[in-house]
Amino acid sequence: MSFPLFQRPGTVVFLDDDPDYLDMLALVLPRNWRVMLFLRPHDCINHLQQEPPIWEADAWHQQQLIEQWREGAPLIPQILKYWGESSERFALAQVCVVDYSMPGMDGLQALGELVDWPGSRVLLTGQADEQVAVRAFNQGLIDQFIAKQTADISRRLIDAVTHLLATPNARHSQIWRCTLSPEQTALLRVPSVSRDLSEFAAKRWVEHVTIGDPFGVLGMDAAGRVSWLQLEPASALGELVQLAEAGGVNQASIAEIKSGRKLIDLELRQALGRTTPSEMNPAFSIGREQSLLGALFNIEPEFGPDPVNSYSAWLGRQDKRTVRD
């Protein structure tokens, strides 16, 4: 499944013995990345070796949300609370980029010290090191390698890291997949559906979680604004119509739901405990097969996390990009 069930921003770490190169990276890398620049292998290794217990605690926290859902607690309020409790989850490094040719310890040796660190690994090589990098890639020791002499190296590096940041985390996907039914999983695996969802999420959110009860994607943008992409299989519109009829929705609105022109947020409102009237928003097709419909609903700020814990606010509190020497 190429559409990540779970996605959030993370830190990108660079290790290189050339301070001028690191200074250049500090200037050209996207400003919406949290970047850490290391000059010495041991400093970088020591930093990343402290992360596995934090990764594990975060995964355990997510698993607890699932366990509480199995006991009857709605998922959406739990996820919103999880997002609001701490923004330090953004500090976890998701990608580490290491120069191969360094005195005392080469890049592969440095990465080899990170036995339990779960992030993605990129090796920067000189021309003479390319065969080493190919072997390391084939052995699964690194996720990408890039030759430093590559034309437009900065753009190539940004593209590679962007791809890895968007790559689904296997542990997180496993945790959240269990909320989906086999039918929902099959729909999300349709290539055109996965592509459309990936494009939709990338334009609107920095963090999202896909769940099956109710079926949809809960997303948050960099400023902390939260919205819900309700997903409805075209074959299940009759069930939504029945819910709307049971909720006293008028016949004109029922006709719009039945035709697939609009969706209604009944399950979202129930999960949040809202008592205000339900909302109906235009539906759109997801994927070429027209087997899945979506509609976007904004979630009021009082239900969402405090903006002080948004990604933009957290990023603004971080130290300036300077080489850690």
199-238 pLDDT, tens digit each: 999 999 999 999 999 999 999 999 999 999 999 999 999 9
Cα 88 from Cα 111, distance rounded (Å): 24
Lowest mean pLDDT among 119-133, 250-264, 295-309: 119-133
Given a contact cutoff of 8 angstroms between Cβ atoms, the answer to whether 163 and 51 are in contact is no
Most confidently predicted of 21-25, 66-70, 167-171: 66-70
Cα 193 from Cα 202, distance rounded (Å): 14
177-190 pLDDT, tens digit each: 999 999 999 999 99
Map residue 310 onto helix, strand or coil.
coil
- For 217, the token pair is 């994607």
| Residue ranges covered by each domain of the chain | 6-169, 172-308
- For 155, the token pair is 């753009």
Q: What is the pLDDT of residue 125?
A: 87
Cβ-based neighbours of 131, under 8 Å, separated by 6 or more: none
Map residue 304 onto helix, strand or coil.
coil
286-299 pLDDT, tens digit each: 999 889 999 999 99
pTM for the full predicted model: 0.93
Tell me which residue of 130, 120, 117, 122 sits closest to 99, measured CA to CA: 122
Look up the CATH number of domain 6-169. Answer: 3.40.50.2300
- Using a 10 angstrom Cβ sphere, with 0-12 exposed, 13-18 middle and 19 or more buried, the burial of residue 282 is exposed
Q: What is the pLDDT of residue 133?
A: 83
